[in-house]
Amino acid sequence: MGNGQNLKDYAQATLGATDDATFISGMKSNHAFAIEYTVRPRSTITGRS
């Protein structure tokens, strides 16, 4: 995941890991996580406003 440390930390805290398989499974099974991850501001993801 190249989307910034904040999102990586969120995935680790919520899913327990940040590997691709866990992330994909978490996005499919944990809808609250998927929504929160998706709506994070662009500046959180890219470092830009």
Residue 23 lies in a domain: yes
Angstrom distances, CA of residue 4 to CA of 29, 39, 42, 47? 22, 14, 10, 8
- Tens of pLDDT along 2-48? 457 888 899 999 999 999 999 999 999 999 999 999 887 655 455 55
Residue 49 lies in a domain: no
- Is the per-residue pLDDT at 49 higher than 70? no
Residue 29 lies in a domain: yes
Domain of residue 29 covers 5-42
What's the pTM value of the predicted model, to 2 decimals?
0.70
Residue 48 lies in a domain: no
Number of domains in the chain: 1
The predicted pLDDT at position 43 comes to 53
Residue 47 lies in a domain: no
The predicted pLDDT at position 14 comes to 95
